[in-house]
Amino acid sequence: MDFDNTQPIYKQIIDGYKKQLIRGELQQGDKIPSQREYAEKLRVNPNTVQRAYREMESMQMVETVRGQGTFIMADLNMQNRFRQEMADALLSYFIREIGSLGYTGEEALQMLAARQAAMKEESCND
Amino acid sequence: MDFDNTQPIYKQIIDGYKKQLIRGELQQGDKIPSQREYAEKLRVNPNTVQRAYREMESMQMVETVRGQGTFIMADLNMQNRFRQEMADALLSYFIREIGSLGYTGEEALQMLAARQAAMKEESCND
Amino acid sequence: MDFDNTQPIYKQIIDGYKKQLIRGELQQGDKIPSQREYAEKLRVNPNTVQRAYREMESMQMVETVRGQGTFIMADLNMQNRFRQEMADALLSYFIREIGSLGYTGEEALQMLAARQAAMKEESCND
Amino acid sequence: MDFDNTQPIYKQIIDGYKKQLIRGELQQGDKIPSQREYAEKLRVNPNTVQRAYREMESMQMVETVRGQGTFIMADLNMQNRFRQEMADALLSYFIREIGSLGYTGEEALQMLAARQAAMKEESCND
DNA sequence: GTGGTCTAGACCACC
DNA sequence: GTGGTCTAGACCACC
């Protein structure tokens, strides 16, 4: 058993931006908060935010312009790639965990379908 | 955004035992490690383990005998309840996250089915 | 012989609240003192009060709302259950002790009846 | 609310001897353990035992003979007085507590009678 | 301010 | 050895 199995904070920051991109809340050209500002908001060490921003830069997800700020550079292509990567990771996690509870893939599919059917019905009744 | 999204340690301990029960690694009557022993192994304060054990006792998952130790009390019924509860929670998590990536329920189902088909094929080729 | 036959403090705290409920001094929805406040008043460690409150919450006797406080949740039903449970425990204690003094059940009944007759008479003379 | 509402230890020691007298486990002339010996057995400060013995002496319940030990002096008369005193105190406690739970004297009597009837039946079935 | 989690460590009761 | 209770106090999250 392993405690504190959270992702490192800088990775969580990156994932947060990826999600905003995927949901369309951020688009190419948008300005994101300054490192200092964001560090304060998250109550996190500025170095942590810096590391996140640096990695995002190195994968050309954002672009930093000296004296101006940091801007989204990711295009629709990258956005889609992120979406698939995150979905893949989530799928892997789900399959591994549900398997460790002793459910077969068939059962997992059925449970998921049943849940969605139930949710659909519920939303119709609203 | 939310950091430190780990569950409290005592809940992780409880979930660990639930999983062992579900997988059949622990059965009714089995002795589990003493509070002190387990605390040392996990490098955690004995009080934290005690809290987990106490909560497990209050749900009649284990039974503690003073001076003797702590023993599994859960029967097959409880074991199955835990299995369903954990599967439900996992399902909820999966549905919420995949939805936040912008996938419909239909797409989620298809992706899951595709993955399982791929895994089946892979295992056949072994 | 057994010294220090007091109940644990956290149980005494719980019993105190049960009695207040039974006597109608506390009702569903009432706020009870915060953990810190009550700990200071009782000159007891906050953790001890917290343990009492936590156990009361787990039996749905109270409800705690983070940042707001702890509130009575028990309804009349639970109130009556507590009343019977406490009366049962008291009865058991009385029977055991009076028996250990060598009195028969018959004698115990007669003594109790005699006392009550005496008290009635006394209150009439006031 | 009041914690640590135990009787002082020296009174508990005296009550312990009174009970042994009442039950006939100790009789006039019997030797009781030396102060030192008893203090060790109870894991209690010798001064505490000494105070108990001194009080028992002053009410002529025991007699200390220098170089020989301490002996029961109480006769049947005193034994009966103790029995009644302890029963009285117990009765008072029971009446007060059951009253504070909101039961009338009549109800208390009925509950006590019901319990004894149940116990009788049970013992017949053995 | 409120409750929630955790550590460190004392002392006790039972075996 | 086992678990049970309690203190002192830190740090966190939510309001």
> Tens of pLDDT along A66-87?
889 999 999 999 999 999 999 9
Within 8 A by CB and 6+ apart from A123, the residues are none
How distant is the Cα of B41 from the closest Cα of chain A, in angstroms?
10
Pick C5 or B17 by higher pLDDT: B17
- pLDDT at residue B47, as a whole number: 97
How far apart are alpha carbons C21 and C17 in whole angstroms?
6
Q: Tell me the three state secondary structure of residue D59.
A: coil
* C65 close contact with D: CB closer than 8 A: no
Q: Give the pLDDT confidence score for residue D47 in this predicted structure.
A: 85
Burial of B72 (0-12, 13-18, 19+ CB in 10 A): buried
Residue C87 · residue D103 · CB < 8 Å: yes
Measured in angstroms, the CA of D41 and the nearest CA of chain C are apart by 10
Residue type present at position D72:
I
Q: What is the pLDDT of residue B90?
A: 93
What is the sign of the dihedral through the CA atoms of C57, C60, C61 and C65? positive
Say how many C-beta atoms besides its own lie within 10 A of residue C96's C-beta.
9
Nearest CB partner across the interface for C19, out of D12, D100, D103 = D100
Among chain B residues, the shortest Cα distance to A79 is held by B101
pLDDT of residue A47: 86
Q: Measured in whole angstroms, how far is the alpha carbon of residue A85 from the centre of its chain?
A: 10
- Collect the ranges in chain D with pLDDT lower than 70: 1-6, 125-126
CB contacts, 8 Å: B98 with chain A: 87, 90
Name the average pLDDT for chain C: 92
Strand F nucleotides within 7 Å of a protein CB: 1-9, 12-15
pLDDT at C88 over 70: yes
**pLDDT exceeds 80 at position C61:** yes
Instruction: Please tell me which residue, A91 or B123, carries the higher pLDDT value.
Output: A91
Residues C112, D115: C-beta atoms closer than 8 Å: no
**Closest CA–CA distance from residue B75 to any residue of chain A (Å):** 17
Write down the pLDDT at residue B71. 97
B1 with A16: Cβ contact below 8 A: yes
Question: Is the CB atom of residue B110 positioned under 7 angstroms from any atom of strand E?
Answer: no
| Alpha carbon A58 to its chain's center | 18
The separation between CA D37 and the C-alpha centre of its own chain, rounded to angstroms, equals 21
The token pair at A106 is 């068939």
> Is C103 within 8 Å of chain D by CB?
yes
The chain-wide mean pLDDT, for chain A, equals: 89
The minimal CB distance from D42 to the residues C1, C87, C109 is found for C1
Residue A65 forms beta bridges with which residues? A69
Using an 8 Å CB-CB cutoff, list chain A residues near B44: 3
| Closest by Cα among A85, A99, A91, C120 to B108 | A91
Q: Which nucleotide is nearest to C46 (CA to C1')?
A: F7
How far does the CA of residue D58 sit from the closest CA of chain C (Å)?
23
Cα A11 to Cα A8, A18, A50, C75: the distances in Å are: 5, 10, 11, 48
Q: How sure is the predictor about C60, in pLDDT bands with cuts at 50, 70 and 90?
A: very high
| CB-strand contact B66/E, under 7 Å | yes
Q: Which nucleotide is nearest to B66 (CA to C1')?
A: F3
Nucleotides, chain E, CB distance < 7 Å: 1-9, 12-15
pLDDT classification of A32: cutoffs 50, 70, 90 = very high
- In this complex, the nucleotide whose C1' atom is nearest to the CA atom of residue B49 is E6
What's the first-to-final CA gap in chain B, in angstroms? 43
**Beta pairing, strands B62-65 & B69-72:** antiparallel
Q: Which band of pLDDT confidence, cut at 50, 70 and 90, is reported for residue B1? A: low
